[in-house]
Structure formats: structure tokens, C-alpha cells
Amino acid sequence: MKKVILSLAIVASTFALGQKKQIKKAFYALEENDLKEASKQIKEADKLLAGKTYLLEPSLLEKFYLLKGLDLLGSGKVEEGAKVLDKLNDLGKQKIYRGKDADKNKVYFVGKAAADASGISGLKEKSFTPNPEFKKMISTLVNPSLQAVSKAAIDNYNNKKFALAGKGFEQTYQLLKATGNDDKQYLYNAGLSYIYAKQNNTAIKIFKDLIHTGYTGVKTTYTAKDKNTGQTVTVDRATWLLLKNNDQYSDFKTNISKSVEEDLYNTTAALLIEEKKYDEANAIVEKGLKKFHGSSKLLSQQGVIYAKLGKNDEFINNLKEQVKTNPNDALAWYNLGVLYAKSNQKDEAEMAYKRSITIKPGKENKNAYLSLAYLMMGDDEKFVKEYNKLINKKGGRAKAEKMLKARRERFKKALPYAEKMYELDKQDINAVGLLKSIYRAIKNKAKYKEFKQLEEQMSK
């Protein structure tokens, strides 16, 4: 059979008629509950369209999105189906730009961005009111999938199958959004699930999107007590207001949940740090600090970033800001002490360490006692080198002995902090080894022998 060649105008006209015919057939089949036929017809229409949805007038386009979305859901493609159904919401929110293309085909672009991208001039802006019955239809038809996906997500989460839970919460969000309910709590749940699944980059993407949209997690819950049953019911605000006029209900209450926005910034920064994406992490922290000025959580994350990047001056300034914001932050004082010690600011380091152990004197802060002990002892490696030079040098013995005496005094100052560390954790071999060295230096032979033996036992 020879190939028939039609003019471009005839092809376009036939093409458009074919689309409309298939979509109308599919919609009729859906109304008759003939899902198999509806699926067949919408697949044919989709094939004819080949992505050129702008050729459909809005009233036909909404039918196409409805049918294609439901067909995808029916075939198990939840995410794809939900996203297509969500496009119905855009039809009511955005302007429709109408006109004709170079081949005289009528075109309908949803939103200014799509219209501008087309490059077609002279498009006229129109409003479109979607069919309200379609929204009800979507809610009814999507509900079984929504319930199943939501239950599976919760079950997977409770069974610690976090990757599956994350996927399920994402799908729940997409299905809800398709029905017109943009509840980002499910995306937040998905992000948390991916963290537990060790899929940091997926969680980061979700959390960054939530930050971009300004998600806070704040929700108002409306409750009332049914006098007949004694049960408290949760309803939407409109119903709650109506119930106030009904004598059957009492104890009307509202509950506003706490914002998670600061934690969202903090967690996202922590994940980026864990993935060694320090510049991205710092950008998140800086953005967060503009909104939550002086946040101890975000300042702490910024301190970690500066430490990882080796920016000691910035880290010191950051820690100063942290202790200014929260004077009882033992960790910030400890880190400040470490940096002061590194920069040979002994007095400042001693002050910072002591503030840290005053705030948190227990076992969890034992390293502050260790650091303070070493600070008191000074640079012992440097001492040994200088001492050995002097002791073997003619006329240097007297000076060497003086140095040794000064060392002994330094070690005596360090002793209380080392003893406190050992008292807090007697299984810490670092504390045992340190005390052994100190007792030897201050010539406490009995204690030196005791801790030498203890260190040997712990090393076995």
C-alpha cells in the first residue's frame, strides 16, 4: 500500500479531531464506569497528543488530565498519576493564554511562563473556571489509593522500613495535593524517613524544598465534645464554627502546633555537613540566622562548618557569639577553650575550660578536665628537648634543674583536673596514663607505681 501524503493543514486538523474524539470517548467510558475502555481511549489520545497539550481547549484539557491521571493511578504509577491530576489545580489558578500558532492551530497555554516559552505573539489572556464536579470526582476516585498508600507508609515507618516509608509519604503528599490539599507535613515525614534510611541526599532535597516554600509545620486543630457520646471530635474550622451553634457540642478548643522551621534549617545544615557539602550548609545556616537571629542551634552548626574548613578566626568569633547568645552552652565554652589553646592564649583557654566544667561538671564533659590538665602542664615535648640540650651542655645543669622544678609545679597544678577526670570515669585509659605521668613528674612514687600497674592491666 502506498503512503498517502496530506497537506500540513489537513494533518493538523485531523490530528486535533482525533485527540478530541479519543478524549470524549474516554470520558464517556469513565462516566459509564467502563475503566478498561476509558484506559484504552486515553492512551490513544495521549499517543496522538505526543505532549502537545497546548492544542486542547481548557475544558477538554481538564478531562484529559483527569483521565490520564486516573489511568496512571490504576496501573500503579502513583507518583506520575498524582502529578498529572495536580495539573487540574493549575487550570483554576493560572491564566489561559489563547491564540494561533504558525500553522493556524488554536493553542491554549496554561500560565504566563508556558506562553512566553512558546514564542507566539499576540496571545490573549483569559480566565478559566474548572468544573467543580471534577474535583469531587478526583477525591472519590483517588481516596482508595490515598488510604492504601498512607497506611502502607505508616506501617513501613513503624516496622523501620524507612526507605519505603519515605516513598510512601511522598506519594501520600502527591495524592493529597491532587485533591487540592497541599499538606506538606507528609513531605516532612518523608524527609525524616529518608534520614533514618541513611538516604541523606534525598532528605536534603526534600528539606531544601520545604525551606524554599516557607514550611513551618504550624497547624491549628479544632476540637469539640459531643455531649451525647462524651467523645471529643476533631473537625475543620468551618465545621467547628457551625458546631458552636449546636447545643449537642461543648468544650470547643483550638490547639496550635509548634513550628519546626528552625529545626528544619538545623537538620538540613547537619545533613549537608555530614555529606561534606560545607558551602551549601553555610548558605542554609546564613539564611536561617536571618530568620532566627542568635539561634544557638544554627550558630553551633556554623561553628562546625568553620572547624571543618579550618577557619579558626571565624570559628572563634562564631563561638563567642554562641556563648553570648547562650552563656550556659558548655560545649561552646569547651570549643572556645580548644581554639584559644591552639592560638597560645593560655589565660583565655583556662577561663573557657573552667566555664565549661562549671556549667557541666559531670562525666559527659570529662574531656574539659583532660584539656585543662594538659593546658596546665604546658608543652612537655618542647620542655624535654630543651632540658636534654641543657643537661648535656657545660654549665647548663643549673638551668636545667630550674626548668625541671618549674615543670613539677605545672604538673602539680594539672593534678586536680586529671584526678577529677579519673574520678568521673575510672575506665578511661587516657586518665590513667595522664595520672601516671603526673605522679612520676612530681615524684609520688607510690601513686606512680599504682597507676603504672593499672595502665598495664588496662592495656592487655
pLDDT of 13: 36
Share of the chain above pLDDT 90, in %: 55
Helix (H, G, I), strand (E, B) or coil at 443: coil
Q: Is-contact 322 296, C-beta < 8 A?
A: yes
pLDDT of 37: 78
pLDDT in tens, 226-283: 999 999 999 988 999 999 999 999 999 999 989 999 999 999 999 999 999 999 999 9
Which amino acid is residue 353, in one-letter code?
Y
Instruction: For Cα atoms 110, 72, 61, give the angle at the middle one, nearest 5 degrees.
Output: 25
- Buried b or exposed e, range 77-87, using 16+ CB within 10 angstroms: ebebbbbbbbb
pLDDT of 138: 85
pLDDT for 19 beyond 80: no
pLDDT in tens, 371-430: 999 999 998 888 888 888 888 787 788 888 899 999 999 999 999 999 999 999 999 999
pLDDT for 9 beyond 80: no
pLDDT for 459 beyond 70: yes
Distances (CA, A) of 100 to 11, 121, 217, 282, 361: 16, 9, 45, 49, 77
Instruction: State whether CATH 3.40.50.1820 applies to domain 312-459.
Output: no
pLDDT of 453: 94
Higher pLDDT, 44 or 346: 346
pLDDT for 7 beyond 70: no
Which residue, 341, 277, 338, is CA-closest to 309? 277
Strand order in the sheet with 249-256: 232-235, 220-226, 249-256
Q: How far apart are CA 458 and CA 438, in angstroms?
A: 18
The three three-digit cell numbers of residue 380, written as one number:
612537655
pLDDT of 71: 86
Q: Which long-range contacts (CB under 8 A, 24 or more apart) does 99-103 make?
A: 99/123, 99/124, 103/8, 103/9, 103/12
pLDDT of 22: 66
pLDDT of 205: 97
Distances (CA, A) of 183 to 75, 177, 188: 25, 7, 10
pLDDT of 3: 36
pLDDT for 451 beyond 70: yes
- The domain locations on the chain are 18-130, 135-198, 222-256, 312-459
pLDDT in tens, 318-343: 889 889 988 999 989 998 998 888 88
pLDDT in tens, 73-88: 888 888 888 898 888 8
Q: How far apart are CA 26 and CA 41, in angstroms?
A: 5
By CB atoms closer than 10 A (0-12, 13-18, 19+), residue 165 is buried
By CB atoms closer than 10 A (0-12, 13-18, 19+), residue 366 is buried
Could you tell me how far CA 129 lies from the centroid of its own chain? Answer: 37
Higher pLDDT, 439 or 343: 439
Angle between helices 445-459 and 429-441 (to 10 degrees): 150
Q: Is-contact 67 42, C-beta < 8 A?
A: yes
Q: How far apart are CA 108 and CA 27, in angstroms?
A: 20
pLDDT for 195 beyond 60: yes
Q: Is-contact 294 314, C-beta < 8 A?
A: no
* DSSP output for 114-147: HHHHHT--SPEEE-----HHHHHHHHHHHHHHHH
Which residue, 136, 130, 114, 116, is CA-closest to 58? 130
By CB atoms closer than 10 A (0-12, 13-18, 19+), residue 64 is buried
Average pLDDT estimate for 37-50: 80
